[in-house]
Amino acid sequence: MFSCNTSTFGHSTFLLTGFPGLEGSHHWVSIPINLICVVSILDSSMILFLICTDPALHEPMYIFLSMLVASDLGLCAFTFPTMVRLFWLGSHELPFDLCAAQMFFIHAFTYVESGVLLAMDFDHFVAIWDPQHYATIFTHSATAKVGAAILVRAILLNLPGPTLLQRLLFPQISVLSHCYCLHCDLVGLACSDTRINSLVGLISILLSLGLDSSLIVLSYALILRTVLSITSPRERLKALNTCVSHLCIVRIFYLPKLGLFVLHRVEKHSYPALAVLMANLYFLVPPFMNPIVYYIKSKQICQGLMKHFQQKRVDVT
């Protein structure tokens, strides 16, 4: 830890952290991480392309899925470059401005993904609870308004973070806990009073991840109640099956965050390499798994993919 005696406003250099004790093997350790990033980008881009080009997928559920995939791509875009610089080029330094910008976009895309998961959950609930009026409730106009509200909320909740960081004193050189910048990590390195920053960060999390997760739990309770009221076992199973893929994605999104939260407060200092690995999986697992889940569980996505490859084959021949 560097001394606060040489602290400065907004001119600090932050050092990214790799895997402690494995510095000499960073090239080999980072190979699976980089492969996951590349596969995530390719799979997410393919799903986004299919949804944009196939009119049959221009439905609210798939529009929300495209927003989810776009947020995954955004997370990869703002975490992957620093991983490459760190693990392959050995470049640890990151200026304050770039670190604050990366922090803003990482949290913003995370909040967008959380909001989209809530919107998808509400979409499933309406489809099961009132299928006759589903088309009149989830119109394209309503879907666009929900998407815009999710984006505006993510921006507004994250704007105070980088702004308030400007008023903090940091050592000229600060060592981060991960290979990217997070708000809680930066606030913990500051040499001045951070109570306002911590309060704003807590409010931001409560109004995004906290509120979304609570409403998702409530909506699934309502979905389960609605499904159990269906008399036909076949229709009941069909209704539950529509929620399986979304439930998997919700678990994929929240479980790594819960694991990292527990690890940071229990064994972070005892197993620093494990903490770094969990921090990387925190952002790598959802973009990697989300397309796979929808490839497996969604017939429309699979049909669109097969149609695309068949068209490619016809064009080649």
Task: For residues 217-237, give the mean pLDDT.
Answer: 83
d(CA 61, CA 65): 6
CATH number, domain containing residue 235:
1.20.1070.10
The residue type found at 102 is Q
Report yes or no: 87 and 108 within 8 Å, Cβ to Cβ. no
Q: How many CA atoms lie within 13 A of 152 on its CB side?
A: 6
Q: Which of 186, 203, 198 is nearest to 103 (CA)?
A: 186
- 246-270 per-position pLDDT tens digit: 888 888 888 777 766 666 555 555 5
| 109: pLDDT strictly greater than 90 | yes
Helix, strand or coil for residue 114? helix
Classify burial at 222, counting beta carbons within 10 Å of its beta carbon; exposed 0-12, middle 13-18, buried 19 or more: middle
If one counts the domains in the chain, the total is 1
What pLDDT does 159 receive?
93
Instruction: Using a cut of 0.85, tell me whether the model's pTM lies above it.
Output: yes
d(CA 308, CA 294): 16
DSSP code of 133?
A: G
Domain that holds residue 50: 4-123+130-316
Report yes or no: 186 and 99 within 8 Å, Cβ to Cβ. yes
